[in-house]
Amino acid sequence: MSKIRVGFGFDVHQLKEGHPFVMGGVKLEHHSGAYGHSDADVILHAICDALLGAANLRDIGYHFSNKDNRWKGISSLVLLEHVVALLKEKGWSIGNIDAMICLEAPKVNPHVPAMKVNIAKAAGISDEDISIKATTNEQMGFIGREEGVVAYAVCLIEK
């Protein structure tokens, strides 16, 4: 008998002048970028948390502490590869991933195909099983003031 689970992930990072802006493993051109211990790739962090949650394997902070220098500045694609390995150890495979990015700028849609390729490679699934969407916050709140970026993700895993 097969087992199916759904996971939900969320991540948020401050935007700071002069920092690189990496999203889905793609460097976006912008005057500011996400600030964090790793590369602060919010969409990948949300995806990692969705996958970990679905498999009941705690959260991204548990596995990749911001107090551990092994993860300082690391590509979040590497973190996703680690998460996928943890799932495989427990007998889980990924069915699909659906993610949403919320930010005012820069425009994400031109980069979605490259993001999907990066995520598919790191997750070991087809890019047809990955959906990435983007929206603004209509210039409201910290997102609207370009002080931060948020990502949400859901996934389906099966055993």
Query: Per-block average pLDDT, block size 10, for the chain (159 residues)?
Result: 94 95 96 93 98 97 90 94 98 98 95 98 98 96 96 98
Contact 90, 157 (CB under 8 A): no
CA angle (121, 9, 104) in 5-degree steps:
85
pLDDT for 47 equals 98
Annotation: CATH topology of 4-158? 60s Ribosomal Protein L30; Chain: A; (3.30.1330)
Contact 87, 140 (CB under 8 A): no
Using alpha carbons, select from 129, 136, 132 the residue that is nearest to residue 150: 136
Show me where the domains of the chain are located.
4-158
CA distance 53 to 31: 33
Using alpha carbons, select from 94, 79, 63 the residue that is nearest to residue 22: 79
pLDDT for 73 equals 86
